[in-house]
Chain A
């Protein structure tokens, strides 16, 4: 998958992604997605196009358990979040709802670079500067959940957990 990189720093919290002051939009995720990451980059939602990537430093998604954070990133059309590391709850939420969360060293990527992510090969290419990066393999449980279309679909299909 190809898209443009929107670059963020370390410790992007769920308050940056889905601010508490917009709490009332949690019941209207389409509308909420127009404000995604607003408190880290006020122009992000306006400037991004479907298929683009969120690229960040370490501990992306720290803080609240609000699943609305990965939800509105997904609804906005982001194809994957690529970060050096993720906070635990955000990572689990992302996979549960079918948003790709990829761990990778993102230092070589600059804002605005064109990226090409190949999940099968585990390779991320920066088409702008030629850098080629190895992504961390997804844990098997996450691959299973993503293949089933998220946790709800997994349970509907199997009637129960079928992960181990």
Chain B
């Protein structure tokens, strides 16, 4: 029996080839934390009594969740991360540099590697052909100290997507459709391996969106075979030499194979308060919206901002809507400036937020009022997610978000 992609990648990090179901100790290439989980990681790391990080250059601390800090308690936790990075030689990604998952794919993670991160959306890096998974602070603390972690090798669901999206439809619609079909726990503990002609033709930005949301179906990771698109992405980021293609075996065992026809996917929206509560956007045209948020590790990339820019150009955001736009990283921000997108957004009366998580985590910069409705390009709509249990959150693609901002109701045109 051959190996799936995730079995192949994990096998490169163990002494013996692995198969699904086995418990293994695997070498870890990159460890990451953010300002929400990092301070607890630092505390647990210190309990371990290790004097050094296993691999300081590839231990990354991100300040992105409450960034810049809205209150002194959080400022103090940022200090904990800054001091730790200095003392142990870890890499610190400061305020304004961007969301950890975007920064990780831009600068830190390579095909064939293993990343463990203390953030559930760590699975984003799987789009590069890496095994990337979210864990808690303690697991990552141990990974930082020992350069390894324990894993149960997951079974794989193969998601085969063929056909061409209709105009305006994107990976976000596809992923919301997949989660709506599988359910919020439909892929718990599984790896999702994305393949098919639609995936082959898809740019990295959209692959990141798919991998990012694997966890919303409960999955441990979402992965893609690294190909020419991956190579070009790495080349653009100055590390083409890190390209490596690992292919699953033809006779690999897949627990489930899910076939999807991309041409059948329509504008899809997750309704409150779970990601799997999906409906077609056209069924929601009577939902009045108070705030629209474009950004996050799911859809805050330059490709997403271009879609929004095309729709907003020369138009004004609806008078009853506040529109917030947050580039996922400094690099994305600079590109958006160069391309005139920021000007378009500001002229349309949108508010630009500094690169980071923005209001997605409910800490600052766009907390909802009681009874308010937000449509957002983020990945989660749990009750209270954006700082108020009395708010309602709908998830969509950047395309739907842009039209909704103009119309004031959930809209696709």
User: Which residues in A have some Cβ–Cβ distance to B below 8 Å?
Assistant: 11, 13, 15-16, 19-21, 23-28, 39, 58-59, 62-68, 71, 85, 87-89, 92-93, 96-97, 141, 150-152, 155-156, 160-161, 163-164
Contact = CB atoms under 8 A, between A and B. Distances in A.
B388 interface: yes
Interface string B62-96: 00011000010110110000000000000000000
B277 to A, nearest CB: 10
A17 to B, nearest CB: 10
A27 B40 CA distance: 8
A88 B220 contact: yes
Given A20-B387, A65-B122, A88-B218, 17 more contacts: A13-B382, A23-B362, A24-B66, A24-B71, A24-B74, A26-B36, A28-B73, A39-B384, A39-B389, A65-B119, A67-B40, A85-B188, A92-B135, A92-B139, A93-B139, A96-B136, A164-B150
B294 interface: no
Nearest to B189: A88
A14 to B, nearest CB: 8
Interface residues of B, number: 57
A89 to B, nearest CB: 6
A159 to B, nearest CB: 9
A67 B136 contact: yes
Contacts of A92: 135-136, 139
Given A59-B218, A65-B136, A151-B138, A23 B361 contact: yes
Nearest to B219: A88
20 contacts: A15-B380, A16-B383, A21-B367, A23-B66, A27-B76, A62-B184, A64-B36, A65-B118, A65-B119, A65-B120, A67-B137, A68-B40, A85-B188, A87-B185, A89-B135, A93-B138, A156-B48, A161-B150, A163-B23, A163-B25
B274 A11 contact: yes
Given A19-B362, A87-B218, A161-B146, A67 B66 contact: no
Nearest to A160: B146
Contacts of B142: 151-152, 155
Contacts of A59: 184-185, 188, 218
Contacts of B380: 15, 63
A64 B189 CA distance: 15
Contacts of A152: 44, 47-48, 138, 141-142
- Of A92, A152, A163, chain B has the most CB atoms within 10 Å of the CB of A152
Interface string B115-146: 00111101000000000001111110110011
B371 interface: no
Nearest to B139: A96
B148 interface: yes
Contacts of B47: 152, 156
- Of A19, A20, A26, A97, chain B has the most CB atoms within 10 Å of the CB of A20
B116 to A, nearest CB: 10
Contacts of A67: 37, 40, 118, 136-138
A89 B218 CA distance: 9
B12 interface: no
Given A11-B184, A88-B220, A21 B384 contact: yes
